[in-house]
Amino acid sequence: MAGPTEYLPKTFRPRVSTYWWLGRWSYLKFILRELSSIFIAWFVILTLLQISALKRGPADYVQLQEWLRRPILVALNALSLFFVVFHTVTWFNLAPKAMSIRVRGKPVSNLLITAPNYLAWLAISAAVAWLLLRG
Amino acid sequence: MADRITLKVTRYDPGRDHEPGFQTYEVPLRKDWVVLDALNYVKDKVDGSLSFRWSCRMGICGSCGMMVNGEPKLTCATFVSEYMPGPVSVEPLKHFPILRDLIVDISDFLEKLTKVKPWLIREEERRVVDGEYLQTPEQADTFRQFSMCINCLLCYAACPVYGLDPLFTGPAAIALAQRYNTDSRDQGTNERLDILSQHDGIWGCTFVGDCTRVCPKHVDPAGAIQQYKLTAAKEWIKSLLMPWGGR
Ligand code: SF4
Ligand code: FES
């Protein structure tokens, strides 16, 4: 951008405060969503830990389960679950924004785009639950 | 109803002040007055040195955007009485350099706007004698919403990404690029994509969504950007699968 000239004198550049995200709910929600990636990473690591324990044999797996029963880890996993659900819901709600589908010249309602996502989520969760609980 | 209300207005004289400060004015409170009317009252009756931009007074020209009680608003479309009992703060649009009082420097936006080529691009221009490019009402409907933008820049003032990284192309410029991309007469989508798929283009957006919330014309710039991301991702996958495919 051009610097100060005779016609465009000096300007004042306001600075964005470090705490800008505290001022408004939509900003805070956004920061929480960004933060959720840390918890998603934790779930990925946890899954890897479980797989490696499985590979090492039943004794190791039982040990891992013991470790996971500690209150601090239960709390961490509950918090992570909250963030993962938060991330998923905000992501699904975003889908209709990105897909502007028109049928016979009319935009398709948002619900028609969001609903299949939720249904797929439910179906996959049910399938996983069936796999785990059937035995 | 009380008959007066206090305005807290940003004052900044670049020749004199080190940084902006506030000045308060008491103005009559009229039911039919918008914030811009109150500012004009101050300018006409109290302090002629107060500077601000405005023109149409009917939400069309896009020049009267300011922060009213911390929210980006068109001051010609915001009633003072909404802020009873006051005081009402009126500040220059956030995230732009302040030139004087309530006037901000928007040259950064204007430069970005030209960069995204918001005009019809044709591979080959048709000769004038061959007539206009025809379009059905349905085709016009696909971009109508994006064409409603009045360049008021409220969305830039609402966007924290733009505040933190002024290189970000920003909501309105991307929405206007999308307006031409979705125009059946346009053939410039790829040309614009080359510019907008760079880091400071669409990928700068982290979907805060506040631009859409504050837009007085329901342009939904956040939606435009997400649509654009989808297009860019599709193009990228295509180029991976068919590197010889050219565009
Ligand atoms: S997109 Fe909306 S808020 Fe942004 S400049 Fe255009 S009209 Fe104003
Ligand atoms: S004065 Fe034109 S939009 Fe407000």
Tell me the pLDDT of chain B averaged across its residues. Answer: 92
In a domain, B247, yes or no: no
Do residue B120 and residue B81 come from a single domain? no
Q: So what's the pLDDT on residue A94?
A: 77
Whether B163 and B138 map to the same domain: the answer is: yes
| Residue with tokens 């007066």, as numbered in its chain | B4
**CA separation for the pair B44, B52 (Å, rounded):** 13
- Cβ distance of B230 and A20 shorter than 8 Å: no
Out of A24-28, A100-104, B133-137, B140-144, which region has the weakest mean confidence (pLDDT)? A100-104
Q: Chain A partners of B223 at a C-beta cutoff of 8 Å?
A: 97-98, 100
Q: How far apart are CA B230 and CA B236, in angstroms?
A: 10
Q: Would you say residue B202 lies in a domain?
A: yes
* Residue-level pLDDT at A41: 95
Q: Tell me if residue B4 falls in helix, strand or coil.
A: strand
* One domain for residues B144 and B63: no
Q: Which residues of A touch B108 (CB under 8 A)?
A: 1
State the nearest Cα–Cα gap between B3 and chain A, in angstroms.
31
Q: B226, A97: Cβ pair inside 8 Å?
A: yes
Ligand 1 center–CA B151 separation, angstroms:
5
Yes or no, beta carbons of B207 and A94 under 8 Å apart:
yes
A99 part of contact set with chain B, CB < 8 Å: yes
Distances (CA, A) of B2 to B8, B81, B83, B86, B89: 17, 10, 12, 10, 18
Same domain, B97 and B158: no
What is the rounded CA–CA span in Å between residue B225 and residue B247? 22
What ipTM was assigned to the predicted interfaces of this complex?
0.73
Q: Residues B124, B224: one domain?
A: yes
Q: Does A94 touch chain B (CB under 8 A)?
A: yes
Residue to substitute in B61, B148, B214 for testing ligand 2 pocket (most ligand atoms within 8 angstroms of CB)? B61
B246 belongs to a structural domain = no
Our answer on whether the CB atom of B225 is closer than 6 Å to any ligand 1 atom is no
**pLDDT band at B236; cut points 50, 70, 90:** confident
The residue nearest atom 1 of ligand 2, judged by CA position, is: B57
Q: Is B69 left (phi over 0), alpha (psi -120 to 50) or beta?
A: left
Ligand 2 residue neighbourhood (C-beta within 6 Å): B 54-57, 59-64, 74, 76
pLDDT of residue B32: 94
Distances (CA, A) of A54 to A50, A58, A76, A129, B59: 6, 7, 22, 19, 65
Nearest residue (by CA) to ligand 1, atom 2, is B215
**Binning pLDDT at 50, 70 and 90, where does residue B105 land?**
very high
Residues A40-49: tens digit of each pLDDT: 999 999 999 9
Distance from the A47 Cα atom to the nearest Cα atom in chain B, whole angstroms = 28
| CB nearest A12 (choices: B97, B107, B222) | B97
pLDDT digits (tens, 9 = 90+) for B34-83: 999 999 999 999 999 999 999 999 999 999 999 999 999 999 999 999 99
B222 lines ligand 1 (CB under 6 A): no
**Same structural domain for residues B40 and B95?**
yes
Q: Which residues of A touch B15 (CB under 8 A)?
A: 9
Q: A105 vs B141: CB contact, 8 Å cut-off?
A: yes
B100 & B136 share domain: no
pLDDT at position B186 is: 94
In a domain, B147, yes or no: yes
What letters, b where the CB count within 10 A reaches 16 and e where it falls short, cover B120-143?
Answer: ebeeeeeeeeeeeeeeeeeeeebb
Answer yes or no: do B59 and B115 share one domain. Answer: no
Helix axes A25-56, A71-98, angle to 10 degrees: 120
**Same domain (yes/no): B69, B158:** no
A15 near B CB under 8 A: no
Q: How far apart are CA A31 and CA A47, in angstroms?
A: 25
B206 in a structural domain: yes
Q: Pairing relation of β-strands B65-68 and B71-74?
A: antiparallel
Final residue in a domain of this structure, among B73, B104, B135: B104
> Based on the domain organization, do B149 and B223 belong to the same domain?
yes
Contact (CB, 8 A) for B204 and B169: yes
* pTM, two decimal places: 0.87
Q: Domain of B178?
A: 107-241
**pLDDT for res A96:** 78
**How far is residue A69's CA from residue A76's CA, in Å, rounded to a whole number?**
11
pLDDT of residue A103: 67
| pLDDT per position as a tens digit, B15-26 | 889 999 999 999
State residue B78's pLDDT score: 97
**Looking at residues A110-134, what average pLDDT do you find?**
89
The pLDDT of residue A97: 76
**B42 within ligand 1 shell (Cβ under 6 A):** no
Same-domain pairing of B146 and B230:
yes
The domain A25-133 is placed in CATH, from the list 3.30.930.10, 3.30.565.10, 3.20.20.80, 1.20.1300.10, at: 1.20.1300.10
CB pairs A-B closer than 8 Å: 71
Quote the pLDDT of residue B6: 95
Where residue B180 sits, what CATH number does that domain have?
1.10.1060.10
Please give the tally of structural domains in chain B. 2
Domain boundary pick from B38, B72, B104: B104
pLDDT for A9 equals 63
CATH of the domain at B79: 3.10.20.30
**Six-digit token string for A106:** 């009319």
User: Rounded to whole angstroms, how far apart are CA atoms A67 and A79?
Assistant: 17
Q: Which of B52, B83, B104 is the last residue of a domain?
A: B104
Residues B113 and B230 in one domain: yes
Q: Where are the domains of chain A?
A: 25-133
Q: Do B230 and A14 touch (CB under 8 A)?
A: no
Q: Which of B140, B127, B211 is nearest to B175 (CA)?
A: B211
Yes or no: say if A37 and A88 are a contact pair by the CB < 8 Å rule.
Answer: no
> Is 70 exceeded by the pLDDT of residue B220?
yes
Q: Which residue has the tokens 């409220």?
A: B154
- A54 pLDDT exceeds 60? yes
